[in-house]
Amino acid sequence: MTRRAYPSDVRDEEWALVLPYLTRAPLEAPQRKYDLREVFNALRWMVRTGAQWDYLPHDFPPPHSVQAQAYRWMNRGVFEDLVHDLRMTLRRLQGKAPHPSAAIYDARPLQSTPQRGERAGYDGTKRRKGSKVHLAVETLGHLLALVVTAGNEQETAQGGGLSQQVQEATGGQAEAAFVDQGYTGEEAAQTAEAEGLALCVVQVEGAKRGFVLLTKRWVVERSFAWTSRFRRLARDYERLAETLRGWHWLAFSILMTAKTVELLRTAS
């Protein structure tokens, strides 16, 4: 690399963890025109800054090349596979079983932009028009499952999809899911039960108002706060829900790769 480094550039230790997931071809493969690490650095820069593709700095590979490679990685589930493996590694490093027995669900709306197409819907609770990102994380806050819907979709309707993804990610070892009052009702309980999960609704005690730290559920709120560090996820800029979903998996892979390297250094 001959250019000056950006804060978002992948470090050598992180690159060693990520590279096997990005390609099976050797780095010197003749069909590769641009350095793979620079393409990945450009993608990390994009998710961090939230810029438009045409505004990608000129010392990176051309925007169309980075964009095309990014979509190939997202469509192949590369970042999703990376997150699942990193999650198991992080849990082992912290003295826990590879797969969690519990998950925490929640959703947050993302303000729409002209690019969002027909996916935008009005969320009456948040009074915002856009998309809604439904997350399932484990007790350390690492991503297990993700669903993107229109903003007017209710949490109760997404519990089944999240539960199915959670059991696929954990090998069916998850037993409970902690949720807020948006997941109350027979439909949510039955769809979760069909996947072998018991829904545990965590409610605010009494008539408290304002911010209240809720048992278990604060973990997923912290995970949403982690994603706020990535400007590409501040709003819904994407035409396709799968692209927005892919950016989230990439963001969590960046956070978890850095944490894995830190813990490995400490352990050594």
Q: What is the pLDDT of residue 205?
A: 60
Q: What is the pLDDT of residue 136?
A: 94
210 sits in the region (left: phi over 0; alpha: psi -120 to 50; else beta) called: left
**Rounded to an integer, what distance in angstroms lies between the CA atom of residue 165 and that of residue 195?**
10
**Rounded to an integer, what distance in angstroms lies between the CA atom of residue 149 and that of residue 134?**
8
Burial class of residue 268 (count of CB atoms within 10 Å of its CB; 0-12, 13-18, 19+) = exposed
What is the chain's pLDDT, residue by residue, as a tens digit (268 residues)?
688 999 999 999 999 999 999 986 555 655 578 899 999 999 999 999 999 999 999 999 999 999 999 999 999 999 999 999 999 999 999 999 999 999 999 988 888 876 555 667 766 666 677 788 999 999 999 999 999 988 777 777 777 888 899 999 999 999 998 988 777 777 778 888 888 888 888 776 654 555 454 567 889 999 999 999 999 999 888 888 899 999 999 999 999 999 999 999 988 7
**Contact 183/155 with Cβ under 8 angstroms?**
yes
* Token pair 């963001």: residue: 251
Q: What is the pLDDT of residue 158?
A: 79
Residues 6+ positions from 106 with CB-CB distance below 8 Å? 134, 135, 179, 180, 217, 220, 221, 224
**Rounded to an integer, what distance in angstroms lies between the CA atom of residue 144 and that of residue 249?**
10
DSSP string, 180-221: -GGG-SHHHHHHHHHTT-EEEE----TT--S----TTTHHHH
* CA proximity to 165, closest of 139, 137, 144: 144
